[in-house]
Amino acid sequence: MLDPPNVTTRQLQEQLTALQTELNLAKQTRDELAEELLKVAAESSNTEKHEEKINALKEEYGNLHSRHLTCLELLGEKTEQVEDLKQTINEMRALFHNDLLLKLST
């Protein structure tokens, strides 16, 4: 039979072994969680970079859209000017033609 000091020593050793096992599991869990935290932080950083890029692209799109509308407006104005000039030319041709016919008939 084991004497009481040996029993106590053995119990303490078993408790120590159990605590060491728990400690090792806790360390492993801590390491896994730290690794997961690093991954999440990296993903968060990537998300922030993507958000910044999206915002920059939205701003660029807004600028391009504004420029596009301005160009369309200018094109419309130029097209209107061209049409007016064509009409003026046709009127001048008609006047010139009528004047020529009038001079030829006299």
State pLDDT tens for residues 43-62.
998 998 999 999 999 999 99
Ranges in the chain, pLDDT < 50? none
Amino acid 3: pLDDT: 66
- Counts for the chain of helices (H) and strands (E), in that order: 1, 0
Q: How far is CA 89 from CA 80, 85, 95, 97, 104, in A?
A: 14, 6, 10, 12, 22
